[in-house]
Amino acid sequence: MTTERLDRRGLAAAAGAFVIWGLMPLYWHLLKSVPSLHIIAHRIVWSSVLVVGWLTWRYGRSWLRVTLQQPRAIWMLALSGGLIAFNWGLYIWAVNAGHVVETSLGYFINPLLNVVLGVVVLGERLNRVQWTSVLIAAAGVLWLTFNYGSFPWIAVALACSFGMYGLIRKIAAVPPVRGLGVESIYLVLPALVVLLWGESHGQGGFATSTSASGWGYAAAGLLVFGGALTAIPLIAYADAVRRIPFSMVGLMQYIAPTLQLLCGVLVFGEPFGRERMIGFALIWIALAIFATEGLLRSRRRPATLPD
């Protein structure tokens, strides 16, 4: 596949991140009364407090200088921060606007895009069995896309933004928590401006949530806790893309959109007919083939953990 070796920590980190992301529509739907822009700003601010505070406690104030001394880190982390902020914003808006199924389509497309980026940009190689699984997954994604009824711009934008985010974090080779800390610093000032302006005009996240009937200050607490739910899977994902091949991350990523799709259909009652079921089945067949091949390959050679 590549010269990179699979290791259990990387696989566990990827799986954990995708499960959390897959269930996130349930969490953000609880905050439907809060404007999407303010939810994003709260995510940035509270995840920044958590990540930057931990880094400073663990490594002292020098962690930022040391991280930015890495080649290309300054501009690459600025770019990755912008991409993830855009992805968050579009995703939260789409969930609370009733497009959960289309967001799941975006994250069905994204793993396939990761496989393509891994092969084209990073020079990763796939064997015949893996190429077969990719082609089956592509057929499933194309089936879902052409049977959606209109051009799925939300899905395409989500897939492209998150795929490029993962690629940049892979190339930057910055430790995952430190990279997220730098991204947070880039984003926290604009987020604070949005929050302060909104609160001063009675339209901010706290003002909106505490005035909502039935929730009171519980919704404000959800906004704050959203910072942890933002930081944890991103750290796990950034760690995973450094430890296992990008193409394998791409196929494992189908865990998240599958859970999102189930949330959209079973919890929010969005339509899911026979045509979408066919595409869903093709993608899971591809994932089963890829995962089985990877498991057999890993058993034939011992894994080595990176430093």
Q: Domain residues of the chain, as ranges? A: 8-300
pLDDT > 90 in the chain, percent: 21
Which pairs count as long-range contacts for 49-55, CB under 8 Å and 24+ apart, including other chains? 49/227, 50/227, 50/228, 50/231, 51/177, 51/180, 51/181, 51/184, 51/231, 51/235, 52/181, 52/184, 52/185, 54/177, 55/177, 55/178, 55/181
Which residues in 54-83 are b (16+ Cβ under 10 Å) and which e?
Answer: ebeeeeeeebbeebeebeebeebbbbbbeb
Pair 255, 111: CB distance under 8 Å = no
Question: How high is the pLDDT of residue 188?
Answer: 93
99 exposure class (CB count in 10 Å sphere: 0-12, 13-18, 19+) = buried
pLDDT tens-digit readout, 164-194: 998 998 888 788 888 889 999 999 999 999 8
The span from the CA of 146 to the CA of 138, in Å, is: 12
Question: How high is the pLDDT of residue 306?
Answer: 40
Question: How high is the pLDDT of residue 298?
Answer: 62
Q: Is the pLDDT of residue 208 over 80?
A: no
Q: What is the dihedral of CA 251, 236, 94, 283, to 10 degrees?
A: 10
pLDDT tens-digit readout, 282-299: 888 887 887 777 767 766
From residue 161, give the alpha-carbon distance in Å to each of 122, 147, 285. 18, 23, 26
From residue 263, give the alpha-carbon distance in Å to each of 31, 41, 215. 16, 24, 22
* Cα four-point dihedral sign 231, 236, 242, 246: negative
Q: Is the pLDDT of residue 84 over 60?
A: yes
Q: Which residues fall within 8 angstroms of residue 148, CB to CB, at 6 or more apart?
A: 102, 105, 155
Average pLDDT of the chain, as a whole number: 82
Please give the structure tokens belonging to residue 106: 């975006």
- For residue 6, the 8-state DSSP code is P
**What pTM value is reported for the model?**
0.78
Question: How high is the pLDDT of residue 171?
Answer: 87
pLDDT tens-digit readout, 228-271: 888 888 888 878 877 888 777 767 877 888 899 899 999 988 88
Q: Which residues fall within 8 angstroms of residue 262, CB to CB, at 6 or more apart?
A: none
Rounded mean pLDDT of 31-54? 87
- More confident site: 20 or 151: 20
Question: How high is the pLDDT of residue 248?
Answer: 75
